């Protein structure tokens, strides 16, 4: 850990902790925030030193460009505590790198890796008591960055804020996940921002997702924007499909988020001798497989979702239920990845980082 960076961080501690106000048995997802947050401001062409301060509201000018032109990106990560009380992160450098990939695409200045990493570690140490250890719970970490610079001119802002907030959280989905394969609306297009974690990507999904929710589904599975013939990803997770014994997932592209859970699952599955194919998947192939009984599993993979089995999908006004397999891949892969994340198993990949 670089002393020179952390020793320059200003830390203002909260006078009292709010931790006793939180019902850790009913966390839900992303509803509670810890006592502190990390804040770092960009102005005059450079990032200032990160500061840790009590979690609190922020004040912005109505003309701040975030409100008008949506220059805003975020990340999603999780922190865990093992049985010895060690604080653990999972592949955090990958999130930091992806954050800066998103920043570049949205014309936001990149954050220095050491500010992100050392800032996060210091914050995690300060709010370490907030990390839940119950099965399925963790400290959800939300780094985000947005335009604070003012002006109605449609051009990049000259001021930005980088914040990391922490939220003790339970599972993202509370029950079965039923998805709708979408053919009309698109999440992303070639040359667009689909591969970035831009706030606007999520805003654009809310309306079509609500239409799907109204019909009884939980998430939309997006198809490619040109033909709508190929499965891409879901609103908040990448998608895996098991046909016979082979696990399929779409290749990443301009339009698909390069999920850290996705790439970890691909590696773990291969090491468990599960046949994996990363290739374009036709919707018709999945529908045919559902009809002839060879579609045995579908699941979503993401930081918030972990591995979420899909119970069925809708396509062209027809519902297809998935069987409940005893020896399903979702269960073994979820156990393997969460055991690595929480230090219940050795980590041969070097993904786990102790804070
Ligand atoms: N796809 C989308 C659109 C997401 O929002 C997420 C969540 O971060 C993922 C996929 C999964 O990515 P990761 O595994 O890195 O969390
Ligand atoms: C995550 O999995 O961390 C995400 O960013 C998904 C989010 C929309 C909750």
CA of 261 to the centre of ligand 1 (A): 8
User: For 75-110, how does the pLDDT look when each residue is reduced to its tens digit (9 = 90+)?
Assistant: 999 999 999 999 999 999 999 999 999 999 999 999
The count of residues in the chain is 355
d(CA 276, CA 270): 7
Q: How far apart are CA 120 and CA 101, in angstroms?
A: 18
Ligand 2 centroid distance, CA of 79 (Å): 14
> Using one digit for the tens of pLDDT, what is the confidence trace for 135-180?
889 999 999 999 999 999 999 999 999 999 999 999 999 888 999 9
Is the pTM higher than 0.75? The answer reads yes
Q: What mean pLDDT is predicted for residues 106-131?
A: 97
Verify whether ligand 2 is closer than 6 Å to residue 302 (CB atom). yes
The residue written with tokens 């045995």 in the block is 296
d(CA 354, CA 229): 43
What is the pLDDT of the chain when averaged over all its residues? 96
The alpha helices in 40-175, defined as continuous H runs, are 65-69, 92-105, 113-126
- Of all protein residues, the one whose alpha carbon is nearest to atom 4 of ligand 1 is 236
């Amino acid at each position: 850990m670089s002393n020179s960076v952390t020793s320059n961080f200003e830390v203002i501690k909260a006078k009292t902790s709010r931790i006793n106000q939180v019902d850790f048995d009913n966390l839900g997802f992303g509803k509670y925030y810890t006592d502190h947050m990390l804040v770092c401001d960009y102005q005059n062409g450079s990032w200032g030193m990160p500061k840790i301060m009590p979690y609190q509201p922020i004040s912005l000018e109505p003309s701040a460009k975030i409100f008008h032109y949506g220059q805003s990106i975020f990340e999603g990560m999780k922190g865990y505590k093992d049985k010895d009380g060690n604080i653990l992160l999972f592949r955090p450098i990958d999130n930091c790198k992806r954050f800066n990939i998103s920043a570049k695409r949205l014309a936001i200045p990149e954050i220095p890796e050491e500010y992100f990493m050392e800032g996060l570690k210091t914050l995690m140490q300060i709010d370490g008591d907030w990390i839940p250890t119950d099965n399925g719970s963790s400290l959800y970490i939300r780094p985000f960055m947005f335009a604070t610079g003012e002006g109605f001119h449609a051009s990049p802002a000259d001021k930005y804020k980088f914040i990391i907030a922490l939220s003790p959280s339970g599972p993202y989905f509370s029950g079965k996940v039923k998805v709708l394969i979408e053919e009309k609306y698109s999440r992303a297009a070639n040359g667009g921002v689909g591969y970035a974690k831009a706030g606007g990507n999520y805003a654009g999904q809310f309306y079509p997702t609500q239409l799907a929710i109204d019909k009884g589904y939980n998430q939309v599975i997006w198809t490619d924007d040109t033909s709508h013939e190929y499965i891409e990803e879901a609103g908040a997770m990448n998608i895996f499909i098991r046909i016979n014994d082979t696990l399929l997932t779409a290749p990443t592209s301009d339009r698909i988020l390069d999920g850290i859970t996705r790439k970890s699952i691909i590696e773990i599955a291969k090491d468990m001798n599960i046949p994996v194919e990363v290739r374009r998947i036709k919707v018709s192939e999945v529908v045919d497989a559902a009809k002839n009984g060879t579609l045995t599993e579908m699941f979503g993979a993401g930081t918030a979702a972990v591995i979420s089995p899909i119970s069925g999908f809708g396509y062209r006004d027809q519902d297809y239920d998935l069987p409940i397999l005893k020896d399903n891949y979702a269960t073994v892969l979820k156990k393997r990845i969460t055991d690595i994340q929480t230090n219940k198993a050795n980590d041969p990949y070097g993904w786990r980082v102790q804070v």
